[in-house]
Copies of this chain bind each other. A is one copy, B any other.
Amino acid sequence: MAAGARRGSPLTLEEIYATALRLANEGGVEALSMRKLAAALDVNPMSLYHHVANKTALIDQICLTMGERLEIPVMDGAPWPERLRALGHAYRRLATTYPSLWRYVHTHPELVAAREGGLWDVFLPILRAAGVPEEELLRTADVLHGFVTGLIINQQNGHVGGDRSPEAMDLMFEAAIDLIVAGVSARFSPAG
């Protein structure tokens, strides 16, 4: 083992991030440790520190790459309620694909990874189409983002009074978007 106990190739950043993301998703972010990650990579724990500053920097990074995997639907022609609904579902899909990491991002201060890739570029135009005036746009977006985030977190945690079946969760999410659409309509586009 001249150049170390590893199979052959030198450790790469991509390899580290990919494995860390996988481990964090499987066992939970809290259970991810530098030593376990090193073991999974078949490498001395200290080797990691040659590629990554520390554990939090590593977690920041995998949160970022997760955020970039938000798949935003393009529905330029459709009316705003349909576009809003589709965006909500895309958002929820990301959360259910990476439950632990997603929760981590949304419950830790200042993880700017929360700026999910391009989310706002799609979100704000939808709200404009709904008649939200420019001076209330950002605030309304923050409010609705908070609404959906909280609903998903509560669903993930089982903080739910009624039925906890997947079907009930789906119904709940639909009811939530219905309520949001109704609220936005009533407040900002009473005509439509």
A residues contacting B by CB (< 8 A) are 103, 106-111, 114, 120, 136, 138-162, 168, 171-172, 175-176, 178-180, 182-187
Contact = CB atoms under 8 A, between A and B. Distances in A.
Contacts of A139: 162, 168, 171-172, 175
A185 B150 CA distance: 21
Contacts of A176: 143, 146-147
Given A179-B187, A182-B187, A142 B157 contact: no
Contacts of A150: 146-154
B175 A179 contact: no
Q: What is the copy number of this chain in the assembly?
A: 2
Contacts of A186: 182-183, 185-186
A147 to B, nearest CB: 4
In the A-B complex, the 8 residue pairs with the closest CB atoms: A150-B150, A183-B183, A146-B151, A138-B162, A182-B186, A149-B150, A147-B147, A179-B183
Candidate in A111, A142, A151, A186 with the most chain B CB atoms within 10 angstroms: A142
A143 B175 contact: yes
Contact of A182 (B145, B149, B152, B182): B182
